[in-house]
Structure formats: C-alpha cells, structure tokens
Homo-oligomer: A and B are copies of this chain.
Amino acid sequence: MNNNKISLEEVAKAAGVSKMTASRVIRNKGSFSEKTRTKVMAEVERLGYLPNRLASVFAGDINSTFVGVSIPDLGNEVFGLMLEGIDRKLGAFSHQSILGMTQHALNQEEAWIKTVLSWQPAGLILTGRSHTQKSQAMLKAAGIPIVEIWDLNSSPIDMSVGINHYDSGYEMGRYLVGKGYRKLGYVGTSHLTANAATARMNGFTKAIEDAGSRFTKHLCLHDNPGFYPGFYGTEQLLASSPDIEAIFYQNDNMAVGGLNYCETKGQKVPDDIAIAGWGDLPILSIVPYKMTTVRVPHLRLGRMAAEVLLDALHGNATRNSYDVGFILIPGSTT
C-alpha cells in the first residue's frame, strides 16, 4: 500500500520465518528461540522496519496510545502550563497527545471531539465542563475514560480534576471586603461561552453582595488575558468609574498590566487603588510588590489529569472528582 514502507511480512521473509514469529519477536510476546530473535531483530535493523500502529490497533483489540487533549488556546499562559503537565506525564507512559484548540467555542469542541473519537483514542482530557448536548452524547457513547480538567465538575461525564473557580472568586471578594474596600471592580476578558473565569467573576460579585456592599463594576474585554489588556482595561475601568478602590483581575498577567498602569499614572498601590490577581503566575516573581493572588497548581493539575486518565486505563479508577484546591495569598497590593 504505502509507497515504499517495509512491512512485517518483508521482515519475516528476509529472516526466513513467518509473519507471526516475527510479530512475536518484535513485540516480545509469546515464545520464540533466542536464535530466531537474533535473526529477526537483525532484519528489523537492517531494513529499518517501523511497525504500522494503525494496523496493530486495528487488528488487535488493544488500546491505542492516543489521548485527545483539548484546551481553549495557548495565548493564555495557564493552559500552556496545564498542557505541559499533561503531555509530560502522558509521554512518560508512552502515550501521545492529540491537541485540540477549541478557542473557547463549544461547537468547535464538538467538531474536534467527533474527529478525535474517530481515531479511536485511549482516552480524552477536556478543558472545561460545558459541552454541547451532542458532545456529551458522543463522549458517553465512546466508552473510554474522559477527564474534565480545570473547572471542577462534581457530576462529571466520567472524571473531573480541577478547582472550584466560583469559590476562589468568592473568597477573593470576601477578602477584599474584609480589608475595607467598598467600591470594587473586575477586569477580565469575555468569551463566547461561560467558563471558569466567568465563574470566578460571579463568585466575586456574590461575595460582595453577601457582604452588603453593592458597588461592583465589571469590564470584559474582547482580547486575550495578557499584560497589555490588563493595562488598557484598567485605564478604561478607571475612566468610567474613577472612585473604584480595588480591582480583581482575571489573572496575574492582567493584574501586572493594571499595576503598571497605576504606576504610570502615579496612583499609589494599595493606598489609592488595590490590585489582586489570580493564578500565581511566573511574572509575579519579579514584580516589585508582593501581589495578592490565588495560587493554583497548574502543572500539577495537568499532571494529575494525566495520572487519573492513565489509572483508569489500567483499571484502577477510584474517585471520579478530584479537587486540587487553591490558596488565597494576601500580598502588599491590597
């Protein structure tokens, strides 16, 4: 079939044995003599034989070593960290990630799920807990382990690894109100669909309501949650509501952008304005303030999702929902 690729049959013929014997030697499964092994392996080397895994998976009832991994995008640093954690762990167990970037769109996720399932993956890791009806149906019918990561789902399709984003926003809201701030703002980005960041924002707002404080202003930019959007988002927010006392950002990168805006404008942090981020991202290590933030173990989250999936593959699934937790870290910016 394929151009000029060496097949098992050719190796077998060259070694003077049957296909089956060659197959057994190559997979080191079943029995064969040492002499046979030597002969076969010599031909494998000589011919540069590479097995066709498509055929193996197809023929045997064995599982593939593909794992589909969907993330919204890589422009957001946290997803890069998660992906790194996932792929490193999977790679260590000889599994490969098939990437899917959904760009925060559920219908794109659906299309990707359909395609990736057709490749007979061993399992799937999906970022987020919202999926279209059709996606859910396909996922359930697939009969393979599915891990929803990032946004903890207490009743997941199959398994879930993440944190409670709503609670983390709530805790930050309560913390800021506790510090005496009364006029609060939020700066983030908006997506096509409700997501973890939205949950944080909602938790934040709720905490403020619960505390009897009511002034909150939200700004959701149509941009990626990076440094510069934090900068100009702050500018916009303060232009429309100059009396805001504290701002909670979608993540630390945006918060650093905001911090920078305040410095540029001569606003003292936290006296004139308080700033809080989220994620405990690398940038914080060099900011000349200790930023108030929420620490989330991104790499570990990815690693754990992969672990849970591999466990399920090996038949050792136990719980189906893993909360990796977060910690609010008070700093000197609030």
Query: Which of B55, B74, B101, B116 is the one whose CB lies under 8 Å from A58?
Result: B55
Residues of B within 8 A of A231 (CB): 285-286
Whether A94 touches B74, Cβ cut-off 8 Å, given contacts A61-B2, A137-B48, A228-B285, is no
Residues of B within 8 A of A119 (CB): 53-54, 66, 96
Asked if B54 and A141 make an inter-chain contact with CB atoms under 8 angstroms apart, the answer reads: no
Residues of B within 8 A of A80 (CB): 74, 77, 80
Distance between Cα atoms of A80 and B75 in the complex (Å): 8
Within the complex, the shortest CB–CB distance from A211 to chain B, in Å, comes to 32
A-B complex: 8 closest residue pairs judged by Cβ atoms: A228-B285, A74-B84, A53-B118, A260-B286, A97-B99, A227-B286, A80-B80, A74-B80
Provide a sorted-by-A list of 8 A–B residue pairs whose CB atoms are within 8 angstroms.
Answer: A54-B58, A54-B120, A88-B101, A91-B112, A227-B285, A228-B282, A228-B286, A283-B283
Distance between Cα atoms of A286 and B263 in the complex (Å): 11
Residues of B within 8 A of A263 (CB): 288
Whether A99 touches B75, Cβ cut-off 8 Å, given contacts A228-B282, A228-B285, A285-B228, is no
A16 is an interface residue with CB less than 8 A from chain B = no
Residues of B within 8 A of A48 (CB): 137-138, 141
Closest-by-CB residue of B relative to A88 is B101
Residues of B within 8 A of A75 (CB): 81, 84
Type the 1/0 row for A129-150, where 1 means its CB is closer than 8 Å to any CB of B. 0000000011001010000000
Residues of B within 8 A of A100 (CB): 91, 96
Copies of this protein, total: 2
Within the complex, the shortest CB–CB distance from A97 to chain B, in Å, comes to 4
Residues of B within 8 A of A138 (CB): 48, 50
Count of chain A residues near B, Cβ 8 A: 66
Type the 1/0 row for A48-70, where 1 means its CB is closer than 8 Å to any CB of B. 10111111011001001110010
A4 is an interface residue with CB less than 8 A from chain B = yes
A279 is an interface residue with CB less than 8 A from chain B = no
Distance between Cα atoms of A46 and B89 in the complex (Å): 38
Type the 1/0 row for A1-43, where 1 means its CB is closer than 8 Å to any CB of B. 1111100000000000000000000000000000000000000
Residues of B within 8 A of A66 (CB): 98, 119
Asked if A81 and B91 make an inter-chain contact with CB atoms under 8 angstroms apart, the answer reads: no
Asked if B99 and A115 make an inter-chain contact with CB atoms under 8 angstroms apart, the answer reads: no
Whether A1 touches B84, Cβ cut-off 8 Å, given contacts A48-B137, A50-B117, A119-B53, is no
A240 is an interface residue with CB less than 8 A from chain B = no
Query: Which of B5, B77, B96, B230 is the one whose CB lies under 8 Å from A115?
Result: B96
Residues of B within 8 A of A257 (CB): 285-286
Residues of A309-330 contacting chain B, CB below 8 A: none
A244 is an interface residue with CB less than 8 A from chain B = no
Type the 1/0 row for A242-267, where 1 means its CB is closer than 8 Å to any CB of B. 00000000000000110011011000
